[in-house]
Structure 1
Amino acid sequence: MKKVIFICFIFLLGCHASKINENLESKVLKKSFFSKELNKSVNYEIYFPANYNNQKKNHIIYLLHGHGGSEDDWFSKKEGNTKILLDSLIQIKAIKPLIAVTLNAENSWYVDSKTNMESAYIKEFIPFIETNYNIKTNQETRLIAGNSAGGYGALGYSLKYPYLFKAAILLSPAAYYPSPPETSSSLKIDVFKTDGIFNDSVWQSYSYKKLIDSNKEITNYPTFYISTGDDDSYNIFTVIADLRAFFIEQNIKNEVLVINGGHDWDVWHKCFTNDLIRVFND
């Protein structure tokens, strides 16, 4: 009889452990929220680390996709595959458990122009996420990262709203100054056009130099982690050289990483991993 009871106990314990393990697994969910600024529902994907349902609040990183992308990019197995990366870094304790979220910003380049994407992101999306999920809501636990046009957006938000973010990870940021090259997708969209023609003055009005010149009273900026591949075909190496020189001139903390590769996720995976570890250990 005791043997039967013991076997039943082991069986129940195994079932319980299986359920616990299922609850402890990380996950990525596709959701949406309604934006008054955009007057529509907008999709986002959100990553929850293992054991999210406990009462401990988490760090947060906002991930901005590039031109032609969507909320799928960062977590797609064919592109960002960021879930596995975060799982691994958290498991080996290279970074603290964190929530990661990415919004479908379409080809807005994250500014207020034809649509109010910047206002939607800063005034609506960030407060929505941090109200509805178990997140620490302070600068020291809030990060932002973006690739290409997303790096452009992450740079702009970090300079305009520096009190929001501890650090910004800029992966091949398309933050050209004074003007983008002919290969840039920014030339093809309405965001930076006047009467259907790309306007250098409009582009420059959103530039990092304009943002800093317009906010000279700000002295405490996030730390910027900037990277690119040495074979990037979109002239990003020049962008980074110019940006670094300007940041040094302005006494803005920055770290630069250049690795072998082009304008692709192979480079961004490696640089994002390196930079995220540095954010949590510097």
Structure 2
Amino acid sequence: MKQTFLLLLFVLAAAVGMAAKVDTVSTSSKDMHKDIKAVVITPGDYNSGRKFPVLYLLHGFSGNYSDWIKKDPELTHLSDEYHMIIVCPDGDFASWYFDSPVKAGSKYETYISSELVSWIDRHYSTIASRMGRAITGLSMGGHGALYLAFRHPGTFGAAGSMSGGVDLCPFPESWDLDQVLGKYSENHVRWEENSVINMLYLLTPNLLDLIIDCGTDDFFNTYNNNLHEKLLERKIPHDYTVRPGGHTWEYWSNSIRYHTLFFHQFFEKNK
């Protein structure tokens, strides 16, 4: 009985010792001339002698780098379960992850797709290729993840979107979009060109592994369904799901579990 108890204590101690680690790091953007924070979650079995895949996880409008770990602390379990590094960068209050043609100093496309990826690869033991990188996010971050992956398929091999704002044009006065793209009435072509739903020409079948979902009660549901139909027309394979729910953390905390499983499968098949 005593041996059994000691064995149980050993197992519990080992489990605690193998828990994922959450760090807040300060990264650097030369293009924006500033330091930018990010949350980095490393799995419990992380060590420099092994290369780990990385999931970049983007926040939504008015959020910041700490949103995901504050709202869904069980991300640490997903990092442990799938043996992946999860990086939650700061995308500013309303960058929409563009290199803005109108807002000076807002170059979050360059930051995420180049500067941050390079910083993470230098400071962590990563699979430093597109086969070891995925990107997803919620709302503004869902649009941003697809936008960045479509434009940088040499950097990311898989991408996803949860409740993404995949068509910007129906919302000309919302979410500070005019601050990064200019007024829709004067720049409608720019708005159309930078909406994910109009960027499918950048894709070829199987260029990216894609997972997209949206809640039935979400105001973005119609636009995500339109994106799904356009992907079908172009014969672009993708995983598309509509689940009950709205534009809420309850929905996203459930959705991220499907996304991490999807990306884990992508990483495993490309080992």
Aligned residue number for residue 38 of structure 1: 32
Instruction: After TM superposition, give the deviation of residue 117 of structure 1 in Å.
Output: 1.2
Aligned residue number for residue 239 of structure 1: 223
Return the letter of the residue paired with 1:226: I
Instruction: After TM superposition, give the deviation of residue 51 of structure 1 in Å.
Output: 2.1
Change (3 A) 1:210 1:83: closer
How many Å separate the matches in 2 of 1:57 and 1:238? 40
Where does structure 2 lack aligned partners over 5 or more consecutive residues? Answer: 1-5, 267-271
* Match status 1:211 vs 2:195: no
> 4+ residue stretches of structure 1 with deviation over 6 A?
none
Aligned residue number for residue 230 of structure 1: 216
How many Å separate the matches in 1 of 2:29 and 2:79? 30
Instruction: After TM superposition, give the deviation of residue 33 of structure 1 in Å.
Output: 1.3
**TM-score between the two structures when normalised by the length of structure 1:** 0.81
Instruction: Say if 1:151 and 1:170, in contact at 8 Å, map to a contact too.
Output: yes
How many Å separate the matches in 2 of 1:182 and 1:85? 39
Where does structure 1 lack aligned partners over 5 or more consecutive residues? Answer: 1-9, 91-95
Return the letter of the residue paired with 1:208: V
1:128-187 Cα offsets, whole Å, 9 max, x none, are 10121011112222111110000000011111112322321210010116x133684144
* Match status 1:105 vs 2:91: yes
How many Å separate the matches in 1 of 2:133 and 2:118? 12
- Higher radius of gyration, 1 or 2: 1
Instruction: Say if 1:158 and 1:221, in contact at 8 Å, map to a contact too.
Output: no
Instruction: After TM superposition, give the deviation of residue 229 of structure 1 in Å.
Output: 1.1
Instruction: Say if 1:169 and 1:272, in contact at 8 Å, map to a contact too.
Output: no
> SS of the counterpart of 2:69?
coil
* Match status 1:262 vs 2:255: no
**TM-score between the two structures when normalised by the length of structure 2:** 0.84
Aligned residue number for residue 52 of structure 2: 58
How many Å separate the matches in 2 of 1:122 and 1:279? 18
Identity %: 26
* Match status 1:271 vs 2:255: yes
Return the letter of the residue paired with 1:180: P
> SS of the counterpart of 1:145?
strand
Instruction: Say if 1:146 and 1:169, in contact at 8 Å, map to a contact too.
Output: yes
How many Å separate the matches in 2 of 1:33 and 1:278? 28
Number of aligned residue pairs? 253
How many Å separate the matches in 2 of 1:208 and 1:48? 30
* Match status 1:140 vs 2:131: yes
* Match status 1:191 vs 2:180: yes
